[in-house]
Amino acid sequence: MADYHSVRLRAGLCTGCTACVTSCPTEAVRVYGQKAEILASRCTDCGACLKACPNHAKTGKVDSIKDLDRYKYKIALPDPAIFGQFAPEVEPQRVLGSFLSLGFDEVFDVALACDLVSEKIKEKLKESKSPLISASCPAVIRMIQALYPDLIKNLVPVEAPLEVAGQLARQQAEKRGLLSKDIGIFYISPCPAKVTAAKNPVARNKSSVSEVLSIVDIYGNILKFANMKNQKTLELKATGKGYGWARAGGESIAVGTTNNVVVDGIEHVTKVLSEIEIGKLTNVDYIECWACVGGCVGGPLVVENPFIATVKIRKKAEKLNKQQKINLSCVDQSIFDWDDGIKPRQVMSLDNNMTVAISKGKKLQEVLEKLPGYDCGACGAPTCSAHAEDYIQGTIKDTRCVFKND
Ligand code: SF4
Ligand code: SF4
């Protein structure tokens, strides 16, 4: 599982149109043949290329509902983004209950983990002097590892709700006498980055989550069950603020900070991270970053338009704001800790040997001078410099700029 990626190419659907090439924030896509290629070392699974492809040739690989059969005891972990997918009259209680009809034995509401994580982040905010960056969006974490390694120290060292929910659900089931091998924990995800976070976590050795299903794949069944007259409902244990995490800005509200910046959409996130890197935003306490526009409701694996889902989840969350207080001391505090520190990912090196790297750097400069600097993507690389680098590294035999005269 060394370099697992959820975002994949369905080569049969790819026409080589290059629409995805310039959408990638980490320059991970090339189209040098007839088909796109994703460079695994650079991909963060943000899903931007998936949204950009007009032919649905990029996809987020998820597990299947048939995987329920592999476990004796099945626990669903629905991401709060799911509640924004349904009409106002479809209450979260009915949505949670519908998972029992779908074949699950138990439901652990991830919104409750959001509440717990919020309380833990509040503690970290009291201790910190520099701006803390939310560690909730796995695509943002991977982008920081790859492009902004100096900002790893700013990530708030608290496990994301996905993992906290998985660990709590597993711990509680084991306390009731179930064997770990019999328990299947299924995250219901709005995005491919969370699939990768469960299959190949960055801050822990192994995730508690066993399988990941997408919201889009189970939506139809859940809607059918939720609309049934006698559908079982489940009591809500989370607060409205926990559900509010599904949309950009909801996490900051739950954390209780007003001296914060909320940024969504991967291209905006890169701009804000660049500003922090050069020493700006030092007067801000918390920076909430989401790769998708609107936050998790804007993930590529959801059904509803993110702007409509945002309103739906906000209204539902506001209705529930009077729920009970969250008591952090009831849970084992180690579930919030990372197993490992988050390490940089080396993606932009010409060579490990410094002398060779300098020589390649000179050649790269010479090639670049002959390219127009339009960064149009027509050659199959996202920028002229990425194209020159591919040439220097031997990935391509010649440069093929459509604007080049010589
Ligand atoms: S998922 Fe994101 S990082 Fe990976 S290739 Fe697509 S756009 Fe690039
Ligand atoms: S956008 Fe990328 S993946 Fe989609 S058809 Fe065009 S080249 Fe292929």
pLDDT in tens, 104-125: 999 999 999 999 999 999 999 9
pLDDT at residue 65 in the model: 96
Q: Give me ligand 1 centre to Cα 268, in Å.
A: 15
For residue 82, the model assigns a pLDDT of: 98
| 397 SS3 class | coil
Pocket of ligand 1, candidates 49, 143, 267: which has the most ligand atoms within 8 Å of its Cβ, to mutate?
Answer: 49
Q: Is the pLDDT of residue 287 over 90?
A: yes
Against a cut of 0.75, is the pTM above it? yes
Q: Which amino acid is at 85?
A: Q
Point out the ligand 1 atom lying closest to the alpha carbon of residue 44: 3
Check pocket membership of 43 for ligand 2, CB cut-off 6 A.
no
pLDDT at 6 over 60: yes
**Residue 51 Cα, ligand 1 centroid: separation in angstroms?**
10
Rounded to whole angstroms, the Cα distance separating 375 from 372 reads 8
Residue-wise pLDDT for 165-187, tens only, equals: 999 999 999 999 999 999 999 99
Tens of pLDDT, residue by residue over 336-388, are 999 878 988 877 678 888 888 898 889 999 999 989 889 999 999 999 999 99
**Which pLDDT tens digit goes with each residue over 73-106?**
999 999 999 999 999 999 999 999 999 999 999 9
Residue 158 has pLDDT above 70, yes or no: yes
Whether the CB of 213 sits within 6 Å of ligand 2: no
What is the atom index within ligand 2 of the atom nearest the CA of 31? 7
3-class secondary-structure state, position 111: helix
Ligand 1 pocket, residue 29 CB under 6 Å: yes
How confident is residue 320, by pLDDT bands cut at 50, 70 and 90?
confident
- Ligand 2, from 7, 8, 10, 18: best to mutate by most atoms within 8 Å of Cβ? 18
Q: Considering only CA atoms, which of 78, 136, 117, 129 is closest in space to residue 254?
A: 117
pLDDT for position 129: 81
* Dist. CA 319 → ligand 2 center (Å): 42
Taking the C-alpha atoms of residue 362 and residue 225, their distance in angstroms, rounded to an integer, is 63
Per-residue pLDDT of 14-72, as tens digits, reads 999 999 999 999 999 999 988 999 999 899 999 999 999 999 999 999 999 999 999 99
Mean pLDDT over 310-327 rounds to 84
Ligand 2 closest atom vs CA 29: 2
Query: Which residue, by CA, sits nearest to atom 4 of ligand 1?
Result: 43
Determine whether the shortest distance from the Cβ of 58 to ligand 2 is under 6 A. yes
What pLDDT does residue 2 have?
63
Provide the pLDDT confidence category of residue 324 given band limits of 50, 70 and 90: low
Give the chain's radius of gyration (CA, Å): 22
Ligand 2 pocket, 53 CB below 6 A? Answer: yes
114, 240 in Cβ contact below 8 A?
no
- Rounded CA gap, 148 and 100, in Å? 42
Of 316, 333, 291, nearest to 134 by C-alpha is 291
Regarding the beta carbon of 386 and ligand 2, being less than 6 Å apart is answered no
